[in-house]
Structure formats: C-alpha cells, structure tokens
C-alpha cells in the first residue's frame, strides 16, 4: 500500500502534463510454478528393510548410554558424531577409536552413510516413503553401528546390534557403483551375498562387504588386491528377499579383552567402522590416493 501511493501520485502528475500521457509499462505476470521433475528412473526394488527375518523380534530396547555422543570432528564434511544414532533406533556404541586409520574409503564414488532401516523407505522408516528419496542421498552422515538388531555384537549393550555401517552409493541405482578394497590383502571368503577381505598387514582386519551384485564381482576367492582395487558393485542382494540398495560394511578382528563380568576373553569382534570411514572419506575428499 505504501509503495502504491507514490506511483499513483506520479501518475496524477503525469496526467496533468497533457492529454496524451503514455501508460506505464505493464507489470509482467508472475510465471506459473514449474512442475516438480519426475522421480529419477531406478530399478524397482523391494524395500527389504532390516537385515533379519521379518518375523524375528528385535531384542528389548536398551537405554542409550549416559555419555553424550561426541561432537563431529573439525575440518571435515558434514557428518554427525560417532554413536549419534537416529533417536530410538538403538543404543549405539560410544567409541572414538579409529580402528583402521589408513583405510581406503570402500566406495569409489561419493557415498552417504546412514541407516537403511530407520530412514525413508526402510522397514522402520516413515510410512509412505521410498528408499530413493533424496534425504537418503544427502549429508550429513549418521552412524548406525549397534542399531537394534538380533545379530550378535559384543560391543553393543545387551550383546546384540548392527554389526557394521550402512552406506548408500552416489545415487539410488543398483549394480552401478563400485566398492573397493579397504586395504591391501586377500579375498578369503565369498558367500551368497558377502565378500570378505583379510588385510595383509597385522592385525589382519577382516573387511566384509555385503549385498553386492554377486554375479559381477571383480574378484574371486584368493584374489590378492591392493587398496582401492575394485571388488563389486553396490546392490541389494540378501538371499531370497532383496534388501535396500546399500553396502553393509563391517570391520572385524580378533580381540583380547575382558567381558562385562570381568572374565578374560579372546574372540572375533565387530569393530565400529564409523570413524574409520569418516577419516577415509576426509582423505578421499582431500585427494589422497589409496596406497
């Protein structure tokens, strides 16, 4: 209203100047909003959701640890701190150890670490959403080690939980994006939907890559690989029922420790991979070659 008054005043002045005052230029109409683009074409997949049988009950929820999750490391891409899981998705495991400090990031292209169960399109994600929804392919990263699962994990409160980290590839297209060797080693086992790489150097960490496109692997059992060598493409293989398109990535090692009851124990353990992945991704973004 305040802006219109001077305009009208000016018009009035102009009208007084003569009988043939030129009209002001017409205000162009506001363009109609552009329609939203169609969703990107992807292979239709079943949102298999949790990496366990649907009829299996999850273990009782355990309370989150009292220690608040660590703040994100400085000078890095957008990511939440370790053990900062989606609220209600599991207890997490507060650990700031970088178990594989020189690890090569296990995907060749850009990637997004976040829960494939609790985010959009997951079996416990918001209703009516889709695994290919954009937020799943956006920063920040989020840890999901020790997310609630019925699989064993001695580091998780209660002794069970997610054994690795879910990582989505650059886009929601399966059988396209390569996973690569986290360090130099040997492919020591290939399962129905898993590949195990054993590191050549002590402590001989085992890296497991699950849900790859198993009929088009770049390796066979016994392959000796360098860090960064191609292994297989991110897919959704999971036995007879496909899961979402993602890499389930594990770091395992033999450990000598103590149980919660004070008993000495030597056992194969699932180590939290999140900070190792963050550091590896930092190096990748900085252009540091895998070696």
Partner 1 sequence: MRRLAACATAATLTALSASAQTQTQAQTTAPPQQTAPPPASATAVQRPQLQNLQRVAPPRVAPVRGIDWKAVQAFQRTNDARQSPASRILNALKPEAVDATSIPILLPEIAALRDNVRIYSFGEYYSISFELPQARVSLTGNGRPIAFAAKSRLTAAPEGDTGLTLQRTVDGRVASWTRFGVLYTAEVTCDFPAAPACRDDGFLRDLVQRHQGVVLGRAARKAAGFE
DSSP-assigned letters across all residues of 2-56: TTHHHHHHHHHHHHHH-S-PPPPPPPPPPPPPPPPPPPPP--------SSS-TTS
Binding of partner 1 at residue 58 (CB under 8 A)?
Answer: no
Residues paired with residue 264 on neighbouring β-strands, in sequence order: 258
Q: Read off φ and ψ for residue 279, nearest 5 degrees.
A: -65, -40
Contact 170, 105 (CB under 8 A): no
**Strands 185-190 and 194-199, bridge-based pairing:** antiparallel
CB of 43 to partner 1, least distance (A): 18
Given candidates 198, 214, 226, 242, which one binds partner 1 under the rule CB under 8 A? 198
CB of 131 to partner 1, least distance (A): 15
CB of 233 to partner 1, least distance (A): 18
Interface with partner 1: number of residues (CB under 8 A): 98
CB of 155 to partner 1, least distance (A): 7
Binding of partner 1 at residue 239 (CB under 8 A)?
Answer: yes
Contact 106, 113 (CB under 8 A): no
Specify the stretch interacting with partner 1 by CB under 8 A; choose among 80-88, 115-123, 174-182, 261-269.
261-269
Binding of partner 1 at residue 36 (CB under 8 A)?
Answer: yes
Q: Which residues contact 150 (CB under 8 A, 6 or more apart)?
A: 52, 56, 57, 58, 59, 160
CB of 145 to partner 1, least distance (A): 13
**Residues in 161-180 at the binding interface with partner 1, rule: CB under 8 A:** 163, 170-171
Binding of partner 1 at residue 226 (CB under 8 A)?
Answer: no
Given candidates 45, 85, 86, 98, which one binds partner 1 under the rule CB under 8 A? 98
Instruction: Give the Cα separation of 199 and 271 in Å (integer).
Output: 15
- 236: nearest Cα among 40, 49, 89: 49
Binding of partner 1 at residue 202 (CB under 8 A)?
Answer: yes
- 167: nearest Cα among 137, 122, 201: 137
Binding of partner 1 at residue 126 (CB under 8 A)?
Answer: no
Specify the stretch interacting with partner 1 by CB under 8 A; choose among 20-28, 84-92, 121-129, 173-181.
20-28
Instruction: Give the Cα separation of 234 and 122 in Å (integer).
Output: 17
Q: Which residues contact 217 (CB under 8 A, 6 or more apart)?
A: 190, 195, 231, 232
Binding of partner 1 at residue 66 (CB under 8 A)?
Answer: no
CB of 186 to partner 1, least distance (A): 5
Given candidates 27, 41, 57, 127, which one binds partner 1 under the rule CB under 8 A? 27
| Residue placing its CB nearer to partner 1 in the complex, 46 or 267 | 267
Contact 239, 192 (CB under 8 A): yes
Given candidates 4, 60, 67, 127, which one binds partner 1 under the rule CB under 8 A? 4
Binding of partner 1 at residue 14 (CB under 8 A)?
Answer: yes
């Amino acid at each position: 209203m305040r802006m219109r008054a001077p305009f009208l005043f000016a018009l009035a002045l102009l009208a007084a100047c003569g009988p043939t005052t030129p009209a002001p230029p017409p205000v162009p109409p506001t363009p109609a909003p552009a329609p939203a683009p169609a969703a990107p074409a992807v292979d239709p997949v079943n949102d298999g959701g949790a990496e366990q049988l649907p009829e299996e009950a999850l273990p009782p929820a355990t309370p989150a640890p009292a220690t608040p999750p660590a703040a994100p490391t400085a000078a890095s891409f957008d990511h939440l701190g370790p053990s900062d899981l989606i609220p209600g998705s599991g207890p997490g495991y507060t650990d700031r150890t970088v178990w594989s400090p020189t690890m090569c990031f296990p995907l060749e292209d850009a990637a997004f670490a976040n829960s494939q169960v609790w985010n959009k399109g997951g079996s416990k994600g918001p209703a009516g959403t889709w695994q290919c929804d954009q937020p799943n392919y956006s920063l920040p990263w989020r840890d999901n080690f020790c997310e609630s699962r019925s699989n064993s994990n001695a580091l998780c409160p209660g002794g069970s939980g997610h054994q690795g980290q879910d990582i989505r590839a650059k886009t929601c297209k399966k059988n396209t994006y390569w996973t690569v060797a986290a360090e130099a080693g040997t492919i020591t086992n290939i399962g129905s939907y898993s590949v195990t790489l054993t590191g050549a150097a002590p402590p001989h960490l085992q890296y497991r890559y699950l849900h790859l496109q198993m009929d088009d692997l770049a390796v066979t059992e016994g392959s000796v690989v360098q860090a960064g060598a191609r292994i297989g493409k991110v897919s959704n293989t999971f036995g007879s029922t496909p899961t979402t398109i993602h890499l389930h990535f594990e770091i395992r090692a033999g450990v000598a420790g103590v149980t919660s009851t004070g008993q000495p124990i030597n056992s194969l353990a699932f180590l939290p991979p999140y900070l190792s992945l963050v550091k590896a991704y930092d190096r990748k973004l900085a252009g540091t070659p895998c070696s």
